[in-house]
Amino acid sequence: MTETILIILGISLLLYVLLGGADFGGGILELLSRGKASKIVSRAIAPVWEANHVWLILVVVILFVGFPTVYSTILTALHIPVLLALIGIIMRGSAFTFRHYDLEAERSKAIYSSIFRYSSLFTTFFLGVTMGGVILGDISMDYSKGFYAIYIHPWLNWFSFAMGIFLVVLFAFLATIFTLGETKEKEHVERFTKMAKYLIVTLVIAGAVVFATAEIEGHPLFYEFYHSLPSLISIVLATLALPLLWINLNRNNRNWLRLIAGFQTTMIMVGWFAIQFPVLVKINDGTDITVQSSSAPHQVQLQLLIALIFGVFVILPFTGYLYKTFKFDDKE
């Protein structure tokens, strides 16, 4: 039962990275293109961007109810980057809405667009920093060590910053790939294809930096991947998909591009889960928070599982209908 809930948690997190990540990446894409992608990005994400936050809400609810120790530890030790990410989510969401509906067209639209773009970058970075803090294992539960050791040190390090940069590049990459499917204009296709190629190279470099900074911070991330067969296979498959991605970029095979990018992101997530399991949060004194040690009582998990199963049968069909209505029935 616990494993089933964990699988649903993992799938929800993956969907948020793929779909919500592409939304965050839309703002970053606008920033990189100096506003030239604004109309395409708005058209692409406007009908579905709020719906994608369902997956984040689901992740939070599962942690709060099913794994309360994990929830309380992350939101205590890493409350600063989490708070900054939440502020960014509010800012980008408000700016995205106001720039569309504000009557003062030119001046206010420029201001709201800037807020949307920079807060997308800001939010994504601190989501990555939070993830880095969870993975690195510098979280301390000894509150006698003081404010810095408890609330700052776990995330103020090179590895967490490298994770933030990696997530920024990944989300921008996903947004570029998805946006290629939203336009048929030759000028935009050429621009986004070129940008996608740059982002692929940057993503590989950012991934290498993540491993390098992990070694600098004393976390044997490369060793863990190398000695975990599922993780090693996942990274190899993601790497082998790069030539396919490049070929389909040159051919502008939009559906294949989305599938390959989604597959690569899934492999990255699977690789991470494989080395992390059964640990959910690493603690610096070795008393890591695992699946079993953090699980809620059996009856609570049973009720949560029933609610999740019911919720999946409600959420998935309506989400599918939403995408069908706005993303498949409304093609140029």
pLDDT digits (tens, 9 = 90+) for 280-332: 888 887 788 888 888 888 899 889 999 988 888 887 787 777 777 766 555 44
- Calpha distance 45→79 (Å, rounded): 29
Please give the residue that has the higher pLDDT: either 279 or 100: 279
Give the CA angle between residues 160, 68, 223 to the nearest 5°: 40
Q: What b/e sequence results for 71-83 when a residue is b if at least 16 CB atoms lie within 10 Å of its CB, and e otherwise? A: bebbeebbebbbe
Does 226 have pLDDT greater than 60?
Answer: yes
CA–CA dist 83, 77 (Å, integer): 11
Q: What CA–CA distances, in Å, run from 274 to 219, 269, 280, 315? A: 16, 9, 11, 27
Q: Which two tokens stand for residue 296?
A: 């809620």
Give the pLDDT confidence score for residue 131 in this predicted structure. Answer: 93
The reported pLDDT for the residue numbered 19 is 85
Share of the chain above pLDDT 70, in %: 92
Q: Is the pLDDT of residue 77 over 70?
A: yes
pTM exceeding the 0.85 threshold for the entire prediction: yes
- The pLDDT assigned to 127 comes to 95
What is the spatial distance between Cα 70 and Cα 300, in angstroms, rounded to a whole number? 16
Residue 221 pLDDT exceeds 90: no
Which of 74-78, 158-162, 206-210, 278-282 shows the lowest per-residue confidence on average (mean pLDDT)?
Answer: 278-282
Query: Does residue 56 have a pLDDT over 80?
Result: yes
pLDDT (0 to 100) of residue 237: 94
Q: At what angle do helices 53-66 and 2-15 cross, to 10 degrees?
A: 150
Q: What is the mean pLDDT of residues 205-227?
A: 91
Give the model's confidence band at 79: pLDDT under 50 very low, under 70 low, under 90 confident, else very high. very high
Give the CA angle between residues 30, 36, 42 to the nearest 5°.
60
Query: Phi/psi at 302 (nearest 5 deg)?
Result: -65, -45
What is the pLDDT at residue 332?
A: 46
What are the φ/ψ torsions at residue 289 (nearest 5 degrees)? -90, 115
What does the pLDDT read at residue 103? 58
Of 95-99, 189-193, 212-216, where does the model show the most confidence?
Answer: 212-216
